[in-house]
């Protein structure tokens, strides 16, 4: 299990940078942080040690001033502005003294690392440095229901020599015994829209003033998708 510290972010898109020799390096730009610590979990109280982070702002409601005057106290104003957020989560964010966040995830850490964090503290992109290796976790693009050629990379049947309406089919899926299809047989079905972890990606640059992290190579998910960046487990 990866117990290294990480950040939450949003994939901006891919671009390229150039090194000192003029070689083009493909990189993915990620808006990493700032992240707010919403909760600190300990092994004694919760059974495991982790830090809950929040990233991205939720848009508040446009409440008229006349209605805002009817709010009772700070909590009443908070409920009016962020009524789209479910009440249990509103209380959770209010307790951490922050606005509702669009992306909330827990980062499992060791007990020693958890003790150094407090609720309400901020974590920024300077957690990483250039040349470091990271693991990026995201949700892959959903392709819907696809066939075996696109989903598993099967070869097409020949277009001549008697091939008729079976060019993109999967071929044989079994024999006489056993009299059923074996489990794990690669067949058409849902493709994509799954949690994907890409390991050992190198940090090509850190733009601390813009909260942008440049990671060499591709990152799972579409542009605008949320990702989790953690220090590499195997490096």
Give pLDDT, residue 108: 92
pTM of the model as a whole: 0.84
172 and 219, same domain (yes or no):
no
- 63 and 110 fall within a common domain: yes
Dihedral angle, C-alpha 71, 72, 75, 81, nearest 10 °: 0
Whether 171 and 99 share a structural domain: no
Per the structure, the count of domains in the chain is: 2
SS3 label, residue 220: coil
- Check whether residue 186 and residue 74 sit in a common domain: no
Whether residues 99 and 214 fall in one domain = yes
Domain that includes residue 187, residue range: 147-191
- Domain assignment present for residue 217? The answer is yes
Please check whether residues 100 and 153 belong to one and the same domain: no
* CA proximity to 185, closest of 143, 154, 226: 154
The verdict on 79 and 25 lying in the same domain is yes
- pLDDT score recorded for residue 178: 85
User: Are both 86 and 44 inside the same structural domain?
Assistant: yes
Domain-located, residue 62: yes
Residue 81 pLDDT: 85
Same domain, yes or no: 137 and 187: no
Question: Do 81 and 168 sit in the same domain of this protein?
Answer: no
Instruction: Round to whole Å and give the CA distance between 54 and 121.
Output: 11
Helices then strands, each counted (H, E), the chain? 6, 12
Tens place of pLDDT per residue across the chain (235 aa): 888 889 999 999 999 999 888 899 999 999 998 999 999 998 888 899 999 999 988 888 888 888 888 778 888 888 888 888 888 998 999 888 888 999 999 999 888 888 888 888 889 998 899 999 999 999 999 999 999 999 999 999 888 887 777 889 988 888 888 888 999 999 999 999 999 999 999 999 999 899 999 999 999 999 999 999 999 999 8
Does residue 93 lie in a domain region? yes
- Whether 186 is covered by a domain: the verdict is yes
* Domain assignment present for 27: yes
Residue 83 lies in a domain: yes
Measured in degrees and rounded to the nearest 5, phi and psi for residue 112 equal -70, -40
pLDDT of residue 120: 87
Q: Check if the beta carbon of residue 33 is closer than 8 Å to that of residue 56.
A: no
The CATH number that applies at residue 23 is 2.40.30.10
Residues 140 and 152 both lie in one domain: no
A 10 A CB-CB count for 191 gives 17
Same domain assignment for residues 210 and 105? yes
pLDDT for the residue numbered 171: 85
Rounded to the nearest angstrom, the gap between the alpha carbon of residue 93 and the centroid of all alpha carbons in its chain is 20
In a domain, 59, yes or no: yes
Within a domain: 1: no
């Amino acid at each position: 299990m990866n117990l290294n510290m990480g950040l939450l972010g949003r994939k901006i898109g891919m671009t390229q940078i150039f090194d000192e020799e003029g070689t083009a390096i493909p990189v993915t730009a990620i808006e990493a942080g700032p992240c707010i610590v919403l909760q600190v979990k300990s092994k004694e109280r919760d059974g495991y040690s982790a830090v809950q982070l929040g990233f991205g702002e939720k848009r508040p409601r446009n409440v008229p001033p006349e209605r805002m005057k009817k709010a009772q106290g700070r909590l009443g104003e908070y409920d009016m502005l962020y009524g789209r957020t479910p009440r249990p989560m509103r209380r959770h964010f209010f307790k951490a003294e922050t606005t509702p966040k669009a992306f909330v995830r827990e980062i499992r850490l060791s007990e020693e690392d958890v003790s150094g964090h407090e609720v309400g503290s901020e974590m920024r992109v300077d957690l990483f440095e250039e040349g470091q290796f990271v693991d990026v976790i995201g949700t892959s693009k959903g392709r819907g229901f696809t066939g075996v050629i696109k989903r598993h990379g099967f070869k097409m049947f020949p277009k001549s020599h008697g091939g008729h309406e079976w060019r993109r089919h999967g071929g044989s899926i079994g024999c006489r015994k056993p009299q059923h299809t074996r489990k794990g047989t690669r067949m058409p079905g849902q493709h994509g829209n799954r949690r994907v972890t890409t390991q050992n990606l190198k940090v090509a640059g850190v733009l601390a003033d813009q909260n942008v992290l440049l990671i060499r190579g591709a990152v799972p998910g579409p542009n605008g998708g949320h990702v989790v960046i953690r220090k590499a487990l195997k490096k």
